[in-house]
Amino acid sequence: MEKVRTLLLLVLVLFTTLVAYVGAYEEEENEQRTQGEKWFLLRHLHNVVKTDAGSMRMVKGGYRWGSYLHSPMHIGFISMEPNSLFIPQYLDSDLVLFVHHGEARVGHIYRDELAERHLKQGDVYTIPAGSAFYLENGAEEQRLHIICSIDITSESMGWNAFQSYFIGGGVHPASILAGFDHNTLSTALNVSTSELKTLLTRQSSGPIVHLSSSHDHSNIWSKFLAQETHQKLAHLKRIVNFGEESSPKEEQSTWSLRKILFTLLNREDAVKRVNHEAPSTYNLYNRNPDFQNDYGWSKKLDESDYSPLRISGNGVYLVNLSSGSMMAPHVNPRAIEYGVVLKGTGRVQIVYPNGTLAMNARVREGDVFWVPRYFPFCQIASNNGSFEFFGFTTSARRNRPQFLVGQNSLMQSLRGPEFAAAFGIDQKRLETIANAQREQVILPSSSSDSPLRMDIGFY
């Protein structure tokens, strides 16, 4: 009897130890997955600009806390009310713009002249670092939504920040001109100090302002644009000394303000000269799919298709997966990838180099994720509708993803005795497994996924 009790006690101890071990393993695995979501799912939106006329929000890149991983890009979301202006500025980072909804007019300096382009839904456009630009939503009833990539360069002021330099401005935001001594600046502009004070103190509505007189009759931009052409031109000459010759050094120090204001005042004459030379837009929605089958399609844009991407060094892509389908597990050996969910719900799975699951996250419209270079990953659409996501890559060269599964995969290319030996199976068994999937790139899936209910979004 005593032996039976001892045996039962030993079994109980072993069972308790086993349960504790399994529980600790599952807890550690869940902790790793949670940590993976913190690293690869970018849900913390930061307000960069917020006014009555619009906002700019972004998820930050940079070094991930407690990790060797570095995300070299911010993803920004610009939202502008009808008839509004994102006032003239330049950044210390390259921008790639993608118009998600609405239409816009963008003006920026190109070869020391101001070029202007009309952007519509689906358009991609680039603005180099240091190039002064403005954005205008001239629609009367339609909001504008833009997704943009913001590179983190070594010249940026900190790994986790980018800096706007506002050319136009006043009390809020302050113009970069306001930092100069007023006597020095009034001499440089050839205006009185009282005129200079008016120029630098009238604007107080923030970086995104209403242009409609129904909002703010004292808005300097609204009054400025409401003047007659000859009045605006006279005002321009008085403010920026446009009619006088300037030395190359003076020209270099005032080009941004001068070119932008002159185009706002006398847009037709100023823009004609450079619009035929400046880069055009590229509409991603109008592009034919680079790959398409019964389960979805994908489009990708690189410098060979749109040369301005060479400036920023970024690529662009758009993927649509039908209900239940998946983008086959693959690796990008050339670039880091960023994705923004535009429509639907699904899952994103990312794998660490050691073969453990880094993240298996449910995502919905508005979520942003990123995948480090070389990390295996896949995207899976839920069963309740199509799943569409747009994104950027950190290489403008042609990306050649290495698919791990499917008819065009490494499993097909490497199927030989060496690869079979790596799995510890014979070659015939390997060929049977490799040939079981007859599709490629976008695959059918029978896995279920429940509808998602999250209050996460970018606008």
**pLDDT value of residue 192:** 85
Are residue 202 and residue 293 in the same domain, yes or no? no
The string of DSSP codes covering 159-210 is: TT---EEESS-SSSSPPGGGGS-HHHHHHHHT--HHHHHHHHHS--S-SEEE
Are residue 410 and residue 386 in the same domain, yes or no? yes
Are residue 194 and residue 248 in the same domain, yes or no? yes
Domain membership flag for residue 206? yes
What is the C-alpha separation between 319 and 307, in angstroms, rounded?
A: 21
Which SS3 state, helix, strand or coil, does residue 277 take? coil
Are residue 266 and residue 322 in the same domain, yes or no? no
Lookup: tokens for 349: 């799975």
Domain membership flag for residue 456? no
Of 212, 246, 275, the residue that ends a domain is 275
Top pLDDT among 144 and 177 is at 144
What is the C-alpha separation between 59 and 152, in angstroms, rounded?
A: 12
Angle in degrees, CA 53, 57, 58, rounded to 5:
160
Are residue 179 and residue 113 in the same domain, yes or no? yes
What is the C-alpha separation between 392 and 302, in angstroms, rounded?
A: 10
Q: The domain containing residue 90 runs over which residues? A: 45-275
User: What helix, strand, coil percent values describe the chain, rounded to 5?
Assistant: 30, 30, 40
- Total number of domains in the chain: 2
Q: Which helix (H) or strand (E) holds 268?
A: helix 267-275
Are residue 237 and residue 295 in the same domain, yes or no? no
Q: Is the peptide bond before 451 cis (omega within 30 degrees of 0)?
A: no
| Percentage of residues in the chain having pLDDT higher than 90 | 43
276-323: pLDDT as tens digits:
567 899 999 999 999 999 999 999 999 999 999 998 899 999 999 999
**pLDDT value of residue 43:** 85
Domain at 93, CATH number: 2.60.120.10
CB of 382 closer than 8 Å to CB of 361: no
Task: Share the mean pLDDT of the chain.
Answer: 79
**pLDDT value of residue 241:** 42
261 — pLDDT class (breaks 50, 70, 90): low
Are residue 212 and residue 305 in the same domain, yes or no? no
Burial class (CB in 10 A: 0-12, 13-18, 19+), 18: exposed
195-228: pLDDT as tens digits:
878 878 777 788 999 986 554 544 565 565 555 5
What is the C-alpha separation between 203 and 328, in angstroms, rounded?
A: 52
Are residue 215 and residue 157 in the same domain, yes or no? yes
What is the C-alpha separation between 225 and 222, in angstroms, rounded?
A: 5
CA distance readout (Å), 398 to 4, 20, 251, 395, 408:
71, 50, 39, 8, 18
Domain membership flag for residue 14? no
pTM above 0.85, yes or no: no
Domain membership flag for residue 380? yes
Are residue 72 and residue 220 in the same domain, yes or no? yes
Are residue 265 and residue 345 in the same domain, yes or no? no
Domain membership flag for residue 32? no
H helix runs in 365-426, sequence order: 410-413, 417-423
Domain membership flag for residue 200? yes
**pLDDT value of residue 239:** 41
Which residue from 142, 133, 175, 153 is spatially nearest to 62, judged by alpha carbons? 153
100-110: pLDDT as tens digits:
999 999 988 88
Domain membership flag for residue 26? no
Q: Name the DSSP class of 256.
A: H
Domain membership flag for residue 85? yes
